[in-house]
Amino acid sequence: MVRAQFALLDHLNIKTLHACVGSSLGGMCSAQAAVLFSDRIRRLVSISACTYSHPASIATRYVQRRCIMTDPNWSNGFYYGNTYPKHGMKVAREIATISYRSGPEWRQRFGRQKIEGAPISLCPTFLIEQYIDYQGERASVMLDPNTLLYISKAMDLFELTPEELKRIQMPTLIMGVTTDALFPVWQQREMAHQLMENGTPTTYYELPSLYGHDTFLLDIHGVGTAIKGFLETAVSEQTALRNTISPFPYY
Amino acid sequence: MVRAQFALLDHLNIKTLHACVGSSLGGMCSAQAAVLFSDRIRRLVSISACTYSHPASIATRYVQRRCIMTDPNWSNGFYYGNTYPKHGMKVAREIATISYRSGPEWRQRFGRQKIEGAPISLCPTFLIEQYIDYQGERASVMLDPNTLLYISKAMDLFELTPEELKRIQMPTLIMGVTTDALFPVWQQREMAHQLMENGTPTTYYELPSLYGHDTFLLDIHGVGTAIKGFLETAVSEQTALRNTISPFPYY
């Protein structure tokens, strides 16, 4: 993916990037770009991402892929012109929604509120069920299923080794969200810690947002403020030096 | 469920229980029993349970039920004598497995280990995927799907009000596990805190186990030691008094 992006930059005759910024898969890509094209990137921002997919996030994506691939309409990927595998896509998105948001957010937003007039049955009773159903329905036709499968698998396979991380020497901002279930905050801590140990000038923030992994889509102020500040502030050697003494625990 | 259990106790002519002990749904039932039959229970032990299902756990169970109920073989529950809805049950159990265990456990146990000889494809690549598949397959025929649906819905609907909790006055042990994703530790904290505020003699433990919600099935020593100690130790009024000054934060 990153090589394709840089092929486009070559085509556009763009030699150097002021910064490479991304969240989630984008945060993985921005870190990968900083490793592969370290001489072409001046600053790196990686938000709610990681240096490798950990097993619980692989497990979640595996179940989502299984939902799509076991939908009879998926037809081994040859569904174009035939019935779209909507059912598998919907369940996959319902699972994704649970992993993208957070329990504390839903507690505040829905609590145990019931759907008005809904009788006690095996059908949805609580507003949270209606919300999950709506999110699944809405997103079930937003992305080509095969595209989703390949992106999902690419995320599982993503891994930057400690040796590769050493190539990241440009000023770097790492951000994590304390309620993120899919890319838990220990992953961003670990990444920042490794960079600091390598002497990379690293700024690290944890955001105590309620919105879990989706925070970068929702808390524009919380996430954006740090990016703006980081992109506009000079990073001195002193910054790098100070940060090599990491103030936070590894895990 | 609890009324049925006590109908059985009546039939067996058992008037009083030395203690009512349960984990997960069992921990909900033991608390419900302590509310409904407070005069027949001398001690209460509730492990990895809660006083109400919170929206993220309702969401997880909702998606599991959908997997079963949208399996064409479920046939609105009339599958007896016909094809068993194995596919829906398997996916439901795969989702359950993710909610029962913990990322930190899988990190230690599987990390990013790959299946030997598995090519890079959309099929399982990592050991964690094989494990999830195995757990889904194994458990897909362990329980009658309709039974699972009703138990699942009953857990969603479970709720003890603050007023009902006040009826729990017997010595009580509450245990939570720090890595539990399905019944997160703030729920056991909240329950213990409410009981302490009510003046109930309450003992509260958090177990820093790796096994998430399934800890009570796996860490027999960690969970069992506390239960043994609690059942064998006299609880004085002093205990209740001390505990009304709660040493831990609410959330």
Residues B180-186, mean pLDDT to the nearest whole number: 92
Hey, which CATH number is domain A2-52+160-243, 3.30.450.40, 2.60.40.10, 3.40.50.1820, 2.60.40.1890?
3.40.50.1820
A140 CB neighbours in chain B (<8 A) are none
Residues B194-203, mean pLDDT to the nearest whole number: 91
Which residue in A62, A97, A149 is closest to B124 by CB distance? A62
| Residues B96-134: tens digit of each pLDDT | 999 998 888 898 899 999 999 988 889 899 999 999 999
H and E: helices and strands count for chain A: 12, 4
Cβ <8 Å between A149 and B122: yes
Cβ <8 Å between A120 and B60: no
The single-letter DSSP state of residue A13 is T
Q: Are B35 and B168 in contact (CB under 8 A)?
A: yes
Among chain A residues, the shortest Cα distance to B70 is held by: A87
Cβ <8 Å between B98 and A63: yes
State yes or no: is A213 an active-site residue. Answer: yes
Task: Flag the least confident range among B49-63, B187-201, B224-238.
Answer: B224-238
Using 50, 70 and 90 to split pLDDT, how confident is the model at A222? confident
Task: Flag the least confident range among A111-125, A168-182, A234-248, B187-201.
Answer: A234-248
Looking at chain B, the domain(s) classified CATH 3.40.50.1820 span 2-52+160-243
Taking alpha carbons only, the member of B180, B99, B185 closest to residue B135 is: B99
A69 vs A145: CA distance, rounded Å: 9
Query: First vs last Cα of chain A: how many Å apart?
Result: 30
B111 vs B99: CA distance, rounded Å: 18
Residues A100-104, mean pLDDT to the nearest whole number: 86
What mean pLDDT is reported for chain B?
A: 91
DSSP string over A208-221: --SSGGGHHHH-HH
Would you state the pLDDT for residue B70?
94
B150: tokens are: 């009703």
Using 50, 70 and 90 to split pLDDT, how confident is the model at A250? very low
CA distance B95 to chain A (A): 7
| Residues A22-41: tens digit of each pLDDT | 999 999 999 999 999 999 99
**Class of CATH domain B56-156:** mainly alpha
Among chain B residues, the shortest Cα distance to A100 is held by: B56
Residues A223-234, mean pLDDT to the nearest whole number: 89
Would you state the pLDDT for residue B250?
43
Cβ <8 Å between B153 and A122: yes
Using 50, 70 and 90 to split pLDDT, how confident is the model at A234? confident
pLDDT at B242 over 70: no
State yes or no: is A219 an active-site residue. Answer: no
Among chain B residues, the shortest Cα distance to A104 is held by: B56
Residues A30-58, mean pLDDT to the nearest whole number: 96
Mutation target to probe the A interface, by most A beta carbons within 10 A, among B109, B114, B120, B128 is: B128
Would you state the pLDDT for residue B222?
86
Q: A with B: how many residue pairs have Cβ under 8 Å apart?
A: 129
Using 50, 70 and 90 to split pLDDT, how confident is the model at B246? low
Using 50, 70 and 90 to split pLDDT, how confident is the model at B52? very high
CA dist list (Å): A99 to A130, A131, A182, A227, B202: 17, 14, 6, 25, 34
A184 vs A242: CA distance, rounded Å: 25
Q: How many CB atoms lie within 10 A of CB B149?
A: 20
Q: Which helix H or strand E contains B44, and what residues bound it?
A: strand B44-47
Residues B67-73, mean pLDDT to the nearest whole number: 95
Among chain B residues, the shortest Cα distance to A61 is held by: B129
Would you state the pLDDT for residue A251?
40
* % of chain B beyond a pLDDT of 90: 75
- Catalytic site positions of B: 24, 180, 213
Would you state the pLDDT for residue B251?
40
Looking at chain B, the domain(s) classified CATH 1.10.1740.110 span 56-156
